[in-house]
Amino acid sequence: MSKGLLIVLSGPSGVGKGTVCSELRKRMPDLIYSVSATTRQPRLGEENGVNYFFKSREQFLEMIENDQLLEYAEYVGNFYGTPRDFVEETIASGKDIILEIEVQGALKVKEKFPEGVFVFLLPPSLDELKGRIQGRGTENQATIDHRMSVAAHEIGLMENYDYAVVNDEIDHACQRIQSIVIAEHCRIRKQGKC
């Protein structure tokens, strides 16, 4: 059985990764979503095990110690990490999995899984990015400013990715990513025939 694709969707905070990812999951029902662990407090409406596995700092450090994370990063004061077993088991079972993670973590995944498909989501402009993160209304101004300052550095790392997709409109961004996934499957099938 051929392995599934590991798809990493990354980009600055507020660009729309979560929004695009949930739309992609509706359009591609076979696509598996990797639920991350985090030490961040849940936002209103977020559920443990659905949006994140919410952990204390001690629990998160224990996951690191036990090598349970494929990657992790400290981002704007909190830890975020990808549970390893779920990703590896999903790929081995032939299913595609999508990770929605920030840039430091994505680059660590690339070291371990260079055959993954790395997609950087871009905002139409930095003003639009700030407008989106402010409009979401989930962070205070200090956190928004911090996330925006990290965003400039993150965008500078875009060249390490396989694809850059502008999230101008959700529908267009999803269509582009769906095309990338189809093209990657074709490429892998052709390689198999050689």
Ligand X SMILES: Nc1nc2c(ncn2[C@@H]2O[C@H](COP(=O)(O)O)[C@@H](O)[C@H]2O)c(=O)[nH]1
Provide the minimum distance between the beta carbon of 192 and ligand ATP in the complex, in angstroms, as a whole number. 34
Cβ atoms of 31 and 184 closer than 8 Å = no
**91-130 positions binding ligand X, by CB under 6 A:** 100-102, 104-105
Taking CB positions, which residue lies at the least distance from ligand X?
A: 105
Please report whether residue 173 would count as binding ligand X according to CB under 6 A: no
Please report whether residue 13 would count as binding ligand X according to CB under 6 A: yes
Provide the minimum distance between the beta carbon of 189 and ligand ATP in the complex, in angstroms, as a whole number. 31
Of 43 and 189, nearer to ligand X (C-beta) is: 43
120 forms beta bridges with 10, 164
Interface ranges with ligand X (CB under 6 A): 13, 17, 36, 40, 71, 73, 75, 80-82, 100-102, 104-105
Q: Report the binding-site residues for ATP.
A: 11-18
